[in-house]
Structure formats: structure tokens, C-alpha cells
Amino acid sequence: MTEITLYNTRTRRKDPFEPIDPANVRMYVCGPTVYDRAHLGNARPVVTFDVLYRLLRHEYGEGAVTYVRNFTDVDDKINAAARAMKEAGDPRTLEELIRERTDQTIGWYHADMDALGALRPTHEPRATEWIGAMIAMIKGLIAKDHAYEREGHVLFRVRSYTGYGALSGRSVDDMIAGARVEVAPFKEDPMDFVLWKPSDDELPGWDSPWGRGRPGWHIECSAMAHQLLGASFDIHGGGIDLQFPHHENEIAQSCCAHPEGGFARVWMHNEMLQVEGKKMSKSLGNFFTVRDLLDGNWSGGWKVPGEVIRFVFLSTHYRKPMDWTAEKAQEAEKILKRWWAAARFDEGEGQVSEEFIGVLSDDLNTAGAIAQLHMLYASGDYPALVASARFLGLLPVEGGDWVLPNPETLAIVGIPLLLREIDAARAERDFARADEIRAVLQSAGVIVKTSKEGSSFEIGADFDPTKLEALK
């Protein structure tokens, strides 16, 4: 078994991953609030933790990994979207509009993430289906004096949890000084956050000991994670933007509600995404959804295959800011077209490269893993290239319809196989055959280089693939 090391945001170091129970490895990742299409930044954690899910299943077994990613389907943004539909003349109730909107958005999300090659998690709980668990957790926090009820709201006493701030590395007083916190007359402390809030007759609401209302955002993930993964589980993931306050609040309420557990042992956060070197923003005109890219409705103007989007994401380590550029997308498309052409030489018997797994296991080093794929391509080991690429969610068995290799691409991917034939001929001291192949390659404009490690090549400006037909 290959040792997996992961960077833990909470401890601020990279350590060997040791699951609580190797027969039941458990991971929770914060999912989307389903009020609109997923934008490009929303997709980065999906791809990041999809790769981790694949790696964990490879090491511990497909049936030994439980992956939970939630849908937040009760939220003020969702309510606002439904209100806009009603104000536009839709006669249905707000509750009916909210349900339709969230169902529709979940469908969009699945379609878009499927296009990126992401596997579906083991469980995808909707917050509205776990309200009872949230109410029970809130009642427990009140009973332990970690929460209090005021004017139909229930709030968590942040200062009742001495470990608050450990994840983000800031004290409570520092957070108050440096952050915008909601000021409300019913709060005992500015940092206290809402666990439950009242709903009017139109808004979604559920009966509770504190009146008709709905849960706060933070309690949703804590309750669903506890119900599906237990008081202690292995990994909690999400974007770095969720580190504070969402994840900090999750830790506080979960550890206070279930002090017998430790909640998540490893915290992983992917960095933010930029577009052409700038923060993605509607005001800058560089804001687009995954569907915009897939359909060609973005500044680049062409339809970007989901596999290309995935490749661009994986080319940057998850803990580094990622810059989406049209140039990167174009280069990724060229590379994948070559690899798809190489896949034609694969007979389905390739094995995932051990070096590839080793690199990927070092804190999910996808950029290094892609470098390994380039090496496999250059060496002509196409069966291993295909098997390893598919491990990353690239070159899918059912995919590749967007790729139509031209004769020049097909000729280029055949060159590494000819180089391997040169090296084999030299090893058998059949120098005549080696020289014959080299001469044809050179006549076609291929620059062949030979070293102790083997042969390599470059494509010259006068490349003529038709001349390679002399070797058939």
C-alpha cells in the first residue's frame, strides 16, 4: 500500500494519513447552495476532492470509503430567487417555487459536474431532509449551555468553546476587530452565530421548540455529518473561503454537541480561482459558470469540453491559487487530443504507473501526476498512460467524442513507438534497423536524440507525416 500524506489546515503540517477505521474511511465536503448554476470556482473543490476520493478508493477499496457532499437547499439566496419568480408573476406559493428551483438547480449541478468527470459521492443529503437532526442537535447545545434562545432565534455561545479559532489561527477578539459580524440586539456577544431563525408564513419553515423557523447555515453541515459519518470522521474538505466562519463554527458546535468525538481529524482546503490573473467578478466581465464554458458562452467563445476544464484544474496544486486562462484551455485541449490519439494504441491491458500513484499520494499532487503522464506519453508507454490518466478522470472510457485526431496528430503519437523500436534494435545490436528508422524519421523532419537513457525526439518546422508511411 502506498503511503498517503495530506496537509492538515488545522495542524498546519503535512502528515501520513491514518484513517480511524481503514475499513470505513469517511470524508465530508461542503456542497453547493442550490439557487443558481455552479460557477467555475464552485467546481474546483468538486474536482479536487473527486481525485482524493479516487485515491482513497484505490488504496482502501471502493466499498471502504464513504464520501458525503451536501446540498444546501434552505437559504436566504434561494428564498430571494423564488421571490423574484413570484414578483415576475408566477402564481405558485413561495414554498412550491423554492422546491422547483432547488430541484432544477440540483439537476443542473449533477449534469455539469458529471461533464467534468466527477464521480457521484456516496451520499448527497439535502438539508431540508435532516431538519429533525438539526433541531435535536440545537436542543442538546442549549441543554449544555452552549446556546441560548432569544426572540425566536437560537444562537451559539462562541466563548463557551475554548478551542474557537484554532482552525483559522485567530483569537475571538481578533476576529471581532478584523471581521464584519452581524450586530443584533438579541446577541449576548457579537461573535455568537445563528443556529435557528424564525420564518414568516411565506418562507419555508418547520415547527420547533422555539417557534416556526429554519436552521442557520452552519448547523446544517454539522448535523448531516454526524448523522452520516459519526462524531469523529477522517477528512473534512472545502474551499479556503469556508475556513472562517463556516468551518470554524462547524467545529465549535459539533465538538460541544458531541464532546465524545473529535469531529474531523484532517481539514483540507483548496485555494481560490482567478480568471486571467484577476478575481472572478461580474463587474469585470470575467464571471462565468461551468455551463457557460461547456456551451461556449464565455469570453473565449468556444465550447470547452469538461475534460479540458478538469485538466486545467488538475494542472495546479489544490493548495495554490489557480488561474484560468484561455491559453491554458487551448494548450490542455492540444495535449488531450494527442493523448486520445495515443489511446488508439492501447489494448486495455495497461496498469496505473506506480510512480504516478506515488506522486499523487504526496498531498494530492495532481500537477506532478500530470507531469508523470507527460513522461509516459513521451516514452510511448501508452497503455500505462491511458490507465493512469483514467485514474485522474481523464481519457474516460465512454468519452472522447469531442476528439477527432488528424493525420498529423496520429503520426506524432506513433513516433515514441518508433523510438522504442530504435532502442530495442540497438539493444539487440541490430544497428542497421535502428539506422533505417532514424533515417526515415529525420527525412520526415523529426529530430531524434539518443542518450544512455534512451531516444527522444522533437518535431521540426519541416515535419511531413506522410514520409513516415515508408516505415509501414
Contact by Cβ (8 Å): 218, 250? yes
* Residue 329: exposure state from Cβ atoms within 10 A (0-12, 13-18, ≥19): buried
**C-alpha to C-alpha distances, 128 to 77, 97, 108, nearest whole angstrom:** 15, 15, 19
Which residues, in sequence order, are CB contacts of 192 under 8 Å at separation 6+? Answer: 155, 156, 157, 158
Q: Is the peptide bond before 245 cis (omega within 30 degrees of 0)?
A: yes
- Closest among 219, 217, 286, 281 to 77, alpha carbons compared: 217
Helix/strand/coil for 295: helix
Residue 191: which of 205, 202, 180 has the closest Cα?
A: 180
DSSP strand E in 13-76: where? 13-16, 25-29, 65-69
Distance CA 125, CA 118 (A): 17
> Nine-digit cell at 184?
443584533
Does the annotation flag 255 for ligand binding?
A: no
**Residue 145: C-alpha distances to residues 67, 151, 197, 279 (Å):** 32, 17, 18, 42
Task: Please list, residue by residue across 413-426, b when 16 or more beta carbons sit within 10 angstroms of its beta carbon and e when fewer do.
Answer: bbbbebbebbbebb
- 374 annotated among ligand-binding-site residues: no
- Partnered with residue 458 across adjacent β-strands are 447
Directed axis angle between helix 306-314 and helix 366-379, to 10°?
110
- From edge to edge, which strands make up the β-sheet containing 273-275? 278-279, 273-275, 322-324
Is residue 250 part of an annotated ligand binding site?
yes
* Amino acid identity for residue 118 in this structure: A
Cβ-based neighbour number of residue 467 at 10 Å: 16
In whole angstroms, how far apart are CA 92 and each of 85, 102, 190?
9, 15, 38
Query: Does residue 205 come out as left (phi exceeding 0), alpha (psi in the -120 to 50 range) or beta?
Result: beta
139 is in an annotated binding site: no
Is 30 annotated for ligand binding?
yes
For 195-254, the DSSP string reads: EEEE--SSS--B--TT-SEEE-HHHHHHHHHHHHH-SEEEEEEEEGGGIIIIIHHHHHHH
| Binding-site annotation: residue ranges for ATP | 282
| Binding-site annotation: residue ranges for Zn(2+) | 30, 221, 246, 250
| Binding-site annotation: residue ranges | 30, 221, 246, 250, 282
